Chain A
Amino acid sequence: MQNLLFGIVSGSMLALAAIGFAMVRQTEGFLNIAHAQFLVLGAFVGVVFVDTFAVNVFLGAALTFAVVGIFGVAIAKLLLDPVRKSGSLVLLFTSIGIAYALYGLIMAIFGTEGRSYPVDFGPTVDFGFASITVGELLIILTAVAAVAGLWVFLNRTVVGTWIRAVASNPELARLRGVRVEVVSSTVWFIATGLAGLAGFLMGAMGTVTSEMGWANVPLILAVAVLGGIDRIYGVMAASMLLGVIMDMGVLVIPSQYVPVLVFGALVVALIVRPNGLFSTSRRAEYAV
């Protein structure tokens, strides 16, 4: 039961990390391998705010989201937009280049040693069958709030609806006059911002190192694929599932084999259901 809670916590952070990846895939049309580096960036920026500037944790999280988001838009406009016409493969490899450049930059600025924030996780709440610190609870809530906020944004605002329109039928969106550059910038801001936020939370939970990004790339890809590559809700569901499986899996098999199991399962899942586990799930017929 304890493990289930841990699973939910890690699942939430993974979901935050992966949603942005799915959004970019959906509206920009390529796999952004650099996504994970924005996560690392968020973690280090978080350290700077909370550790160096002694900013309140909540404010730090919000600032991290904003800073990484803005940086993400800048990178996208400067480096990715100019090669859009060359196709998704060129975009993919450019994103690999960006990933390395960011990796190196982060290493150069922040060094290779691990850091951590002095975050007080607060008192532990005991449920009898499991316990969780207030801090961890807040992490879950933050993730939930972020996703809820995203939902509201996508479904109840004008730009959010434009984003969904572009994801659904880009040519028609253009024809109907949707300003594609506005959509693009907004998506980049949100996607990279969320990744930064996820990094912030991960950093709060453990240590922050420059290697964090590469370690997360396979996981993010895994949930993205399992969730149906660009179905946001599918990706969320897959993240929670994976988080829970990984943390509960240690009860069943030795912990070192869990990643093997996960990726082995991914390979099998891809072969059996190439479009993802959730891509043809029962979807509601009505928009809420």
Chain B
Amino acid sequence: MGALGIYLIGIITLIAFYAAVTMVLNIEAGWGGLWDLGVAGLMGLGGYFYVITTLPTDNDYGSLAFGWPHWAGVLGAGLFVAAVALLIGTPALRLRGEYFLITTLAFAEVVRQLAINSESVTRGTVGIAGVDRPFDSFVTPRGYTWVLLAMTVLAAVAVFFISRRIARSPHGRLLRAIRDNEPLALSLGKNVARQRIITFAFVGFLYGILAPLYVWYIRSILPAMFASHLTFTAWTALVIGGIASIGGPAIGAAVLIALTEALQFIPVSPEYATALSAARWILLGAALILVLRARPQGLISEQRSMRAMGRRRDAAPLSITPAMPKPGDGAPGDASGRSTLTISEVTKKFGGLTAVNNVSLTARQGQITALIGPNGAGKTSLFNVITGFEAADHGSIKLDDEELAGLPPWRIAQRGVVRTFQTPVGFPKLTVQENLLTAGSSAASEGLRAGLIGPRTWEREQSEVAGKAAVITAELGLTVDQNELLENLSSGDMKLVEFSRQLMAEPAFLLLDEPASGVNPANLDRLVSLLRGLVERGIGIVVIDHNLSFIMDVADHVYVLANGAVLTDGPPHEISQDERVIDIYLGSRA
């Protein structure tokens, strides 16, 4: 095996390594939506942990060594990085996109600086050379290239199967849903913050486990190995291959590394050597620029991957038969088994402005309660307060006897108070089917554990949820192809999906934010009978809308808000005749 052969094997090993790293990045960034520019930092931590723990205690490199066996060092690295990710992630993941990005970059820099400056432990910029590697003693140095290749490829394949398993599972779907529309996920009862931290810690573990491979490849460890170049190479590979696809990351890594390494084969005279190695950076940059310009979704798009992988779940026959979801449990209800949502003296201020002023209202299951009032009257703020997206300054929100005020939105949703959003954006990059299934799935089947263990843990539940979805969509008259991406639907269909999806969450109370907006006047009657049908099955509906004739048709009881306070309330025919109500809309007559 000539030197060229060894070199080629080295390239394939490098490709496998980057494929693995890029696939992990895809999990957190492509599916999880975490813009992590600190990958090198996480890997650096893992690398150094591994080296420090596995160095023989009687070495002449660093002052810190534990002499652990290799497998312990690798596993330990994974756990260590996961722990750090947990620590950093808990506060950092609360930051919105751009700031999280900068924080991760700063974090990576901190790690790098620590590595450079903890000379006694890491030997600073010079690093530790000639690191011991597993199976070292069994093979010749030349033979070792094959061993390393095998280990790295194995790792890449393992990561591939892990990520594919996750992609197919409800967990992967949940990640993508949260990425697409966080408030919507919250409104469906998903604990988004916890999920993000779990994802970050999980990828931290994987990065930690993969880091030693790089140490074995370079046969040393030094800070320059884990600099931002590592991060940006992985990101470029991800962008080229196709962010959020399944096979994309590996292909992107292969294309990118092959391209940049291929340069080494160009014969040049020594004075151009620097220029040639510089060329690999130019190529990296150019590749990224071009792909983003020409095909930002990458070689394999998310849609293509998910479509190839997904197969429509055939509905399993239902053993339990609610034709429509029953109101959520946890609400004991009154004598007739119907629950009441009581809002008492709720006040919400924004700076100097009192958006909601001492508002009290009652909504009951089996009824449609409407909130009307001119723009700026505080209706949306009230909705946000009821559903937990804003905290009330004062007042209580009770579902029967249970106090909801102060609870996070996802918990309020789990208690049975579900809202819709005015613009039914939904989870745009998920299919119609996935939108519905996400809403109806339990935390158990959507968890990481279930995602990793496999279909055994979630298949059955998902079939049932799919069955329920089929029933709901039939009742609501939704006839689109369920494998279609939500963002490709017409706005009318998106509205129907919005309804169906929120119903899948089995609400006790459904809060509708402007359901009639954008609806063709011809279809308004259908909407009215739809809503009446829902309350007949026992759901309670609270609706905000500006289309007053629609409200008058559909509501049982109307509250009128003006300037944040309740002006009056009563049955529709009284309200539409009330002079004061007419006044606040039309203004005083001459």
Interface residue ranges, A against B (CB under 8 Å): 31, 79, 82-83, 86, 88-90, 92-94, 96-108, 111-112, 214, 217-218, 221-222, 225, 229, 256-257, 259-260, 263-264, 266-267, 270-271, 274
Contacts and interface: CB of A to CB of B under 8 A. Distances in A.
Contacts of A92: 101
B114 A260 contact: yes
Nearest to B224: A211
A83 to B, nearest CB: 6
Across chains A and B, which 10 residue pairs bring their CB atoms closest together, nearest first? A101-B285, A104-B281, A97-B288, A100-B285, A104-B282, A256-B117, A107-B278, A108-B278, A97-B289, A218-B109
A87 B517 CA distance: 28
A270 B281 contact: no
Most buried by A among B99, B116, B280: B99
Contacts of A103: 278, 281, 285
A105 B286 CA distance: 11
A122 B283 CA distance: 43
Contacts of B105: 217-218, 221
The secondary structure that dominates the B interface is helix
Contacts of B96: 274
Contacts of A108: 274-275, 278-279, 282
B124 to A, nearest CB: 9
A246 to B, nearest CB: 12
Contacts of A257: 117
Contacts of B284: 97, 100-101, 104
Given A108-B274, A218-B109, A93 B92 contact: no
A240 B11 CA distance: 46
B139 interface: no
Given A96-B232, A104-B279, A108-B274, A82 B293 contact: yes
B245 to A, nearest CB: 16
B453 interface: no
A221 B95 contact: no
Contacts of A97: 236, 284-289, 292
Nearest to B228: A214
Contacts of B117: 256-257, 259-260
Nearest to A86: B296
A31 B98 contact: yes
Contact of B285 (A83, A86, A98): A98
A33 to B, nearest CB: 9
Interface of B: 35, 88, 91-92, 94-99, 101-103, 105-107, 109-110, 113-114, 116-117, 119, 227-228, 232, 235-236, 239, 274-275, 277-289, 292-293, 296
A225 B288 CA distance: 26
Contacts of A104: 278-285
Contacts of A31: 98, 101-102
A93 B103 contact: no
Contacts of B101: 31, 92
Contacts of B239: 93
Nearest to A254: B117
A178 B102 CA distance: 32
Given A102-B285, A263-B106, A217 B228 contact: yes
A214 B227 contact: yes
Given A108-B278, A267-B103, A90 B109 contact: no
B92 A271 contact: yes
B36 to A, nearest CB: 13
Contacts of A79: 289, 293
Contacts of A101: 281-282, 284-286, 289
Contacts of B106: 218, 221-222, 263, 266-267, 270
B103 A100 contact: no
Contact of B296 (A90, A96, A271): A90
Given A79-B289, A225-B102, A267-B110, A93 B278 contact: no
Contacts of A274: 95-96, 99
B110 A264 contact: yes
Q: Which of A83, A106, A260, A264 has the most CB of B within 10 A?
A: A260
Contacts of A105: 278, 282
B286 A107 contact: no
A198 to B, nearest CB: 19
Contacts of A111: 274
Given A79-B289, A108-B274, A108-B279, 9 more contacts: A31-B98, A97-B287, A100-B288, A101-B286, A103-B278, A104-B280, A107-B281, A221-B106, A259-B110
Contacts of B97: 89
Given A104-B281, A218-B109, A83 B274 contact: no
A94 B281 contact: no
Q: Tell which of A98, A100, A221, A229 has the most Cβ of chain B within 10 Å.
A: A100
Contacts of B292: 83, 86, 90, 93-94, 97
A92 B279 CA distance: 22
Nearest to A268: B91
A99 B285 contact: yes
A89 B289 CA distance: 13
A229 B96 CA distance: 14
13 contacts: A96-B285, A104-B284, A105-B282, A107-B281, A108-B275, A214-B228, A217-B105, A225-B102, A256-B117, A257-B117, A267-B88, A267-B103, A270-B95
Nearest to B282: A104
Contact of A89 (B35, B88, B102, B280): B35
A267 B274 contact: no
Contact of B109 (A82, A83, A112, A263): A263
Q: In the complex, which of the residues A96, A111, A274 has the most CB atoms of chain B within 10 Å of its own CB atom? A: A96
Contact of B92 (A86, A106, A267): A267
B97 to A, nearest CB: 8
Nearest to B286: A101
A118 to B, nearest CB: 24
Contacts of B287: 97
Contacts of A106: 278
Nearest to B281: A104
A164 B96 CA distance: 25
A105 B274 CA distance: 11
Contact of B288 (A89, A94, A259): A94
A89 B95 CA distance: 16
B261 to A, nearest CB: 15
Contacts of B236: 96-97
A162 to B, nearest CB: 25
A46 to B, nearest CB: 20
A231 to B, nearest CB: 15
B181 to A, nearest CB: 16
B377 to A, nearest CB: 26
A256 B107 CA distance: 16
A108 B228 CA distance: 20
A32 B113 CA distance: 23
Interface centre among B98, B106, B117 (most CB of A within 10 A): B106
Nearest to A103: B281
Contacts of A100: 232, 281-282, 284-285, 288
